[in-house]
Amino acid sequence: MMPEDNVSAFSRLLLALYLLEAGLLLAVAPWSSFWNRNYFIMAWPWLAPLMGSPFARGAVTGVGLVSVLAAIAEIAGLVRRASDPSWRDQGA
């Protein structure tokens, strides 16, 4: 295994972990009490009806779920690559 393969796999794993964390946060945050008590609503009260709208909350949750799916796809690609011995022979 070449060193750049390790770096590539490590950076892909970090990307997957970031996507998973951000996706879970975006999927859960709009439905928590934190959503109604944030800086933007305090600074600009006219945003409160928009941010409290189920449509806005659903859109943010949708972005979070897409991020989670991207993380799962990235992890699946890493597992598939690690379990396939033919990719190791390509560098030789």
Query: With 0-12 CB in 10 A as exposed, 13-18 as middle and 19+ as buried, what is 19?
Result: buried
pLDDT of 56 reads 94
- What count of Cα atoms within 13 Å lies in the side-chain half-sphere of residue 41? 12
Instruction: Report whether pLDDT(77) > 80.
Output: yes
CA gyration radius for the chain? 19
The pLDDT tens digits for 39-76 are: 888 899 999 899 989 999 999 999 999 999 999 999 99
